[in-house]
């Protein structure tokens, strides 16, 4: 996947309100092969380590999805699958991380976007909102292929559905449509 990097200085950007649900359908079939665009106050290219560190009001956009954070590290490969350009493999974000697409917003302390696996994993004080509905927990995994989002109480490792971790809990509020009697 060829990725074009557009690096511009930017000020603080607000995050749009987003709807959470167990199935984050707006994120379903997200195009992780689309160009990745960056805006930040500062950029440091660490070419020998094949990474770029961007900091200060960082915004990354890709195919209608926006990722905001205080700092991001972008891991890449030169050449990519087509033998030219740069191929982004992973984006690690820290500091008030917000992922927005359409009407859905996910928030957390840390996020890891694995472009090859098409997964976003958020850790620490996570929330997923959709309209008036909201889920909170310790970890959120968003599958960009299926649109399925999983929230659990742990704030570290392990597969969904496997007990262990920090033993935290998930809480939520779901809006209920008005019904006529």
**What is the structure's pLDDT at 81?**
60
- Compute the distance between CA of residue 78 and CA of residue 84 in angstroms, rounded to an integer: 7
Query: What is the DSSP secondary-structure string of 62-121?
Result: ETTEEEEEEEEEEEEEESTTTTSSEEEEEEEEEEEEEEEETTEEEEEEEEEEETTTTEEE
**What is the structure's pLDDT at 5?**
31
Q: What are phi and psi of 14, to 5 degrees?
A: -80, 155
Contact present, 105 and 20 (Cβ < 8 Å): yes
Pick the more confident residue, 138 or 5: 138
- pLDDT (average), residues 1-28: 34
- pLDDT tens for each residue of 83-124: 667 889 999 999 999 999 888 999 999 999 999 999 999 999
Spatial CA neighbour of 106 closest among 73, 134, 143, 132: 134
**What is the structure's pLDDT at 16?**
26
**What is the structure's pLDDT at 162?**
42
Contact present, 24 and 102 (Cβ < 8 Å): no
**What is the structure's pLDDT at 178?**
83
If pLDDT is split at 50, 70 and 90, which confidence band does 71 have?
very high
In whole angstroms, how far apart are CA 135 and each of 55, 68, 119?
28, 20, 19
**What is the structure's pLDDT at 10?**
23
- Residue ranges and CATH numbers for the domains of the chain are 17-173 (2.60.450.10)
Strands 7-8 and 37-39: parallel
- pLDDT (average), residues 24-52: 86
- pLDDT tens for each residue of 118-171: 999 999 999 999 888 899 999 999 998 988 889 998 766 544 444 444 568 899
pTM (two decimals): 0.75
């Amino acid at each position: 996947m060829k990725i074009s990097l557009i690096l511009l200085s930017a000020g603080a950007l607000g995050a749009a309100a987003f709807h959470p649900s167990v199935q984050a359908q707006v994120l379903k079939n997200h195009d992780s092969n689309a160009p990745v665009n960056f805006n930040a106050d500062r950029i440091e290219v660490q070419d020998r380590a094949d990474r770029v560190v961007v900091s200060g009001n960082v915004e990354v956009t890709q195919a209608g999805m926006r990722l905001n954070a205080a700092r991001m590290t972008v891991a890449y490969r030169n050449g990519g699958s087509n033998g030219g350009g740069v191929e982004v493999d992973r984006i690690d974000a820290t500091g008030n991380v917000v992922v927005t697409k359409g009407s859905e917003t996910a928030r957390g302390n840390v996020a890891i976007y694995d472009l090859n696996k098409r997964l976003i994993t958020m850790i620490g004080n996570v929330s997923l909102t959709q309209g008036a509905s909201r889920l909170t927990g310790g970890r959120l995994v968003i599958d960009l292929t299926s649109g399925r989002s999983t929230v659990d109480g742990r704030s570290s490792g392990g597969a969904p559905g496997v007990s262990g971790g920090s033993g935290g809990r998930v809480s939520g509020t779901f809006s209920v449509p008005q019904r006529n009697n």
